[in-house]
Each structure stands twice: as structure tokens, then as C-alpha cells.
């Protein structure tokens, strides 16, 4: 159910509506038959898979309708035209973009710390592509600030089409299409201590949580732990280290694989080097390998599964269910 809830938030951030589930069904099952063959996908097999599909679809449809109702909008009506009010370029090919409602439109709503928006980009070939970006502001109403990292090509994958387009073209005064904020991995509203664990660009939702805690003068114990390749690519280092210092009981520690310099540690994040409150809520963001590594360490330090909340910065969250 947690995975379906996570998918539901992703769908709501894209404005998915009930009628689109039939379209997905028809194309998915046509592809399954084409790949596996009609000899494998017999009538009995297709009927069983069809039943499972619609059980999950019905759960998601009702959950997404509730998300739209909670946001005060009609099903799928999550897209807003906004104006870029600020752009800040950071090290590591990361930029922060701040947007506000277009003139005459209702102000953008407040959101929950840890949520994200979808941003629509109209590419030169005319295609409209959507990508989801974490919010890094203090979650108050009026403006939204999100982080975009330029993605270069690798041997395994091409360059990030949308992120690079936004990095090359977004300027103050431009208009963008964004959605209302969604996301289920949000900061708990309790007095328990908070441990934030991140690697690389996974620090972005942590910044939103820290901004919220500072803006609301939180008295919670807050520990921010981050790992990166080296200081030159640690785009959000200043915010991530300064914000905990503005709290009554905050701490920030950083590990770099190389060139740690003064104030940071060399290597990978080691929880053996930190005294963590055993009753903390723990939030973990990063790649699959990082999340698996952190889960192993947290388990060894006695943290129960229900204390640990994680977001995989990749489209295969199911890998973390084991």
C-alpha cells in the first residue's frame, strides 16, 4: 500500500485522471502479448492479469481523487502558469528556480516540507515533457523554489533532455508550466528528533525540510548528514550546513570521497562516527546503492523500519521493498 500511495502522488503531480487508466491498460496488454506471444498470454492468463491491474487501478483512482479533493481542485486540474522571479546558479551544474503565480492568478499554495512539483517543458521539437523537481523553500504560500541539476551524457544513458533545456533557457521573467505540490515523503509534525541522510542531488528535499524547520523556529533535535564526491560538486553545501546552525539544536556533518578540506570528513557516511538519537525519524534520499547502504547501517544501529523513510532518486522504488 505504501508503494501505491507513492505512485498515487506521482500520478497526481502529473494530473492523471481515471479515464487514462483504460488507455494504459489497452497499450500495456497489447505490448505484453507482443513481447511474450499469444501462446504464453492465454485467455486465462490475460484474465488474471487484467483482474490484478484493475484492483490496483481502482485503489489508485480513488486515492488520487482524494488528493485532488484535498488540494481543492477538480480531478487532474493541477497545472498552473507561473512567472520565474529568480534564478540562482550553483556549483555542480545545479540551479534554483523561484516561481510565482502569473499576474491576476491566485497565489501558489503552501505545501508540506519534502514535496515536489512537476515542471512542463516545451522542447524545440514541439514535444511537451514533464519532470518532477524537489522544492527547497520553507513551504509557505506565494512562491515555490525548486532545484534542477543538469544531467550529462554517460556511457549508459543520454544527456537529460529536460533538465538541460531548462538550464539553458530559463530566465527571470519567463513563464513556466508547473503543477501544484505533491509527495508523500514529508516531514513529520511531531517533536521527535530528525535525522536527514542524503547523497548528491538527494540533498534537495532536505533543504526544504531544513528551511521549514528554521522558518518555524523548531526546537527539535536535527542532524543533517550528507555524502558527496568532492566539494566542487556539492551544490547545496552552504544551505545544508548553515540552516542547522540556525536551529536551537541542529548539527550538520559532511563526507567527501576526495578532497574533504577543513570541516568535512573523508570517505562515505559512517553512522559509527555520529551519536544518533534512537527515537529519531530518519529521512534518506539518494541512489539505490546509497539507500541500501544506509538502511543496512540504520538497522545495525537499532532503527526500526517504521522510523526510516526514504525516496529513491530513480524510477524503480520497488527495489527498496525487500
Q: How far apart are CA 136 and CA 224, in angstroms?
A: 15
Residue 13 contacts residue 30 (beta carbons within 8 Å): no
Q: 260 CB contacts (<8 Å, ≥6 apart)?
A: 231, 254, 266
Q: CA 67, 218, 293: angle at the middle one, nearest 5? A: 70
Q: Are strands 308-312 and 281-286 parallel, antiparallel or unpaired?
A: parallel
Q: How far apart are CA 194 and CA 198, in angstroms?
A: 13
**Using the 8-state DSSP alphabet, how is residue 92 labeled?**
T
Which residue intervals of the chain are DSSP H helices? 2-12, 20-36, 43-71, 161-169, 203-215, 237-245, 288-300
CA–centroid distance for 238 within its chain:
20
10 Å CB burial of residue 136 (0-12, 13-18, 19+) is buried
Q: CA 33, 39, 45: angle at the middle one, nearest 5? A: 70
138 backbone dihedrals φ, ψ, rounded to 5°:
-90, 10
Active-site amino acid positions = 21, 64
Sheet holding 143-149, edge to edge: 128-134, 116-122, 175-179, 79-90, 94-101, 143-149
Coil vs helix vs strand at 12: helix
Amino acid at each position: 500500500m505504501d508503494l501505491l500511495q507513492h505512485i498515487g502522488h506521482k500520478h497526481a503531480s502529473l494530473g492523471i485522471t481515471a479515464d487514462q487508466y483504460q488507455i494504459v491498460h489497452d497499450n500495456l496488454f497489447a505490448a505484453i502479448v507482443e513481447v511474450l506471444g499469444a501462446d504464453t498470454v492465454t485467455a486465462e492468463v490475460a484474465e488474471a492479469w487484467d483482474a490484478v491491474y484493475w484492483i490496483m487501478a481502482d485503489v489508485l483512482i480513488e486515492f488520487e481523487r482524494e488528493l485532488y479533493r484535498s488540494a481543492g481542485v477538480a480531478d487532474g486540474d493541477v497545472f498552473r502558469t507561473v512567472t520565474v522571479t529568480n534564478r540562482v546558479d550553483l556549483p555542480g551544474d545545479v540551479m534554483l528556480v523561484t516561481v510565482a503565480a502569473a499576474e491576476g492568478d491566485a497565489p501558489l499554495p503552501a505545501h508540506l516540507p519534502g514535496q515536489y512539483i512537476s515542471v512542463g517543458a516545451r522542447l524545440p521539437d514541439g514535444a511537451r515533457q514533464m519532470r518532477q523537481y524537489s522544492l527547497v523553500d520553507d513551504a509557505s504560500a506565494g512562491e515555490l523554489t525548486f532545484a534542477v541539476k543538469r544531467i550529462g551524457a554517460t556511457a549508459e544513458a543520454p544527456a537529460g533532455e529536460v533538465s538541460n533545456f531548462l538550464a539553458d533557457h530559463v530566465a527571470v521573467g519567463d513563464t513556466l508550466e508547473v503543477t501544484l505540490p505533491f509527495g508523500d515523503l514529508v516531514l513529520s509534525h511531531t517533536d521527535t528528533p530528525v535525522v536527514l541522510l542524503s547523497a548528491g542531488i538527494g540533498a534537495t528535499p532536505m533543504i526544504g525540510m531544513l528551511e521549514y524547520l528554521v522558518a518555524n523556529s523548531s526546537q527539535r533535535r536535527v542532524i543533517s548528514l550528507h555524502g558527496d564526491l568532492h566539494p566542487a560538486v556539492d551544490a547545496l553545501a552552504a544551505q545544508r550546513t548553515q540552516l542547522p546552525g540556525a536551529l536551537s539544536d541542529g548539527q550538520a556533518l559532511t563526507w567527501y570521497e576526495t578532497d574533504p578540506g577543513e570541516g568535512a570528513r573523508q570517505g562515505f557516511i559512517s553512522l559509527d562516527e555520529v551519536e544518533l538519537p534512537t527515537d529519531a525519524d530518519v529521512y534518506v534520499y539518494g541512489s539505490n546503492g546509497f539507500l541500501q547502504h544506509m538502511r543496512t547501517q540504520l538497522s545495525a544501529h537499532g532503527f526500526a523500519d517504521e522510523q526510516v523513510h526514504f525516496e529513491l532518486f530513480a524510477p524503480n522504488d520497488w527495489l527498496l521493498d525487500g
